[in-house]
Amino acid sequence: MTDYRREYERWLDSPALSDEEWHELDAIRDNDDEIKSRFRGPLEFGTAGLRGVMGAGLARMNIHVVRWATQAFASLIVAEGDEARHKGVVIAHDCRINSPEFAREAACVCAASGIHVRLFDDLRPTPELSFGVLHYGATAGINITASHNPMAYNGYKVYWSDGAQLPPHHAEAVARNMAGIDIFNGVASMPFDEAVEKGLIEIIGAETDELFLQNVLAQAIDPAAVKAVADDFQVVYTPFHGAGHILVPEALKRLGLKHIHPVPEQMVIDGHFPTVESPNPENPEGFYLAVDLAKKVKSDLIIGTDPDSDRVGVMARGKDDEFHTITGNQMGALLADYVICARQKSGTMPEKPVILSTIVSTGMTRAICEANGVGYGETFTGFKFMAERLASYAAAGTGERYILAFEESYGYMMGDYVRDKDAVTASMMIAEMAAHYYQKGMTLLDALDALYEKYGCFVEKTVNVYMEGVDGPERMAALMTKLRTEPPADLAGQRVVRVRDYKDGTVSVPGLGAVDRTPISGSNVLYFELENDTNFIIRPSGTEPKIKIYILVRGKDRAECQARAGVCAAVAEAMGKE
């Protein structure tokens, strides 16, 4: 921890601060807790880059922190040699407050290090940034976004040449570089116009959109299903004021849909997100305008993408004529079954197909894969781990080809042109799948019920235990330590039969001790296997001050599963109050 008072005074004395920043910091002079919160140490740079509340201070997202992180990242690129500098970096941003300015400043710092920059001319979906890195053969990518976080946040995501988020060893190198660079005096920047004139900053835009969309449309498996119902099939779409506003409707239109109804109020690009409390498609309350529009136009399907268009949420009309959320786990299972069946029918299934998911996602996907002779792979949460798994398949040369990757938090990926969550492609595939079922007189909720009949009943719940404040990280660490040193013998009235500690890879049985090893390790996750096909998984969030608890239940029917999941959820919520 830094001497937060000394660091605070250093910032106040720095000529680098604008008048607005100086007054913001001067106003907290008598608030020691606020000073400590802003200056106790820097935002931690990890594989997800940086994310935090915007404001002046070492532990806030601001232009000085962005320049500082970029100088450290630029040093990593420069260390790779002249070719890496020439291949350069692709930079994008979302709709958030300060995002365009942060992206421009990052470009200027890279240019000052002699790194060629391709800078998008306006906000773009995160998957297009990943695509840009791969398509242009860039060394790296930078995306200014806080994804689905509330309005007060912004972030700095970094990508490497494989199009995936930065691997751990590179993230650690950037963090070390930052520690050796003075935030004010150790950063070099080139004036924007000069960098453009010298060819160090190149503006990209529509031409990259077109190339990206061509790849997206190539993932469609059965466009004929869409064409067959296009005259009647209606889709409502909302980008939640963000970066999906152009490419998602365009992808749906090119797929063959004729009746696409964007939510007018939420097509307005605005980082204040005026129509929602949180622009997170996981939260059904944000869809209220979309539901009103869907009822008006008689649509059975609502698609919503988050501000950087990497996550997609869906609501579908039920038999009660109301709209119900389809969770990330449920959508992953629906897509898995649809992609398998559609590829088998069309003759496009690869020889060794694989579906990837995560250790905290529904067990239904494994059941679907096993029933259909498709390989199934599990990774830690995060598409960078899925990208690593795909790279390992390629390196092994054994022929595995993935046909879908997803995680429970509303992220889906297909194709080899991106290596991150892709709500543009996912929106298109969800629309194709919904059209397929519409032709059969079914909504996606009907299709989900059919999956439960076919593969068994699965129910999942996620509980977020927030631990905010200066001592939040310490409280989160204390809870994980306690669970490791004093593991419970039972949870929610069910006996713990095995514990997987993915931090060190130990698999233990209460009363017997260590009995096995997990296939993967190195992540701060505790996985409690309970009797009666129930799993209770705990991990700290990497981007927010919270512990995430995942409850996965399999049972004979939904009533039984929901009852068991509800009991587990109550236990999970109580953990945050201890």
The residues annotated as belonging to the active site are 147
**411 with 328: CB under 8 angstroms?**
yes
d(CA 240, CA 31): 35
Q: Which helix (H) or strand (E) covers residue 547, if one does? A: strand 546-555
d(CA 350, CA 105): 44
- Positive or negative, the Cα torsion across 225, 350, 381, 420? negative
d(CA 191, CA 108): 6
**308 with 157: CB under 8 angstroms?**
no
Indicate the burial class of 68 (C-beta count within 10 angstroms; 0-12, 13-18, 19 or more): buried
- Greatest CA separation for the chain: 70
Dig out the tokens for 383 from the structure.
Answer: 């598409």
Backbone phi, psi, residue 376, to 5°:
-135, 130
* 3-class DSSP assignment, residue 296: helix
Dig out the tokens for 178 from the structure.
Answer: 């930052």
d(CA 236, CA 259): 9
d(CA 108, CA 438): 50
* Sheet strand arrangement including 400-407: 375-379, 352-358, 400-407, 411-413
* 3-class DSSP assignment, residue 128: helix
Look at residues 44, 45, 66, 46 and name the one whose alpha carbon lies nearest to residue 54: 66
d(CA 573, CA 131): 39
**351 with 399: CB under 8 angstroms?**
yes
Residue carrying the six token digits 């997803």: 406
**117 with 110: CB under 8 angstroms?**
yes
d(CA 517, CA 502): 9
Tell me the chain's radius of gyration from C-alpha atoms.
24
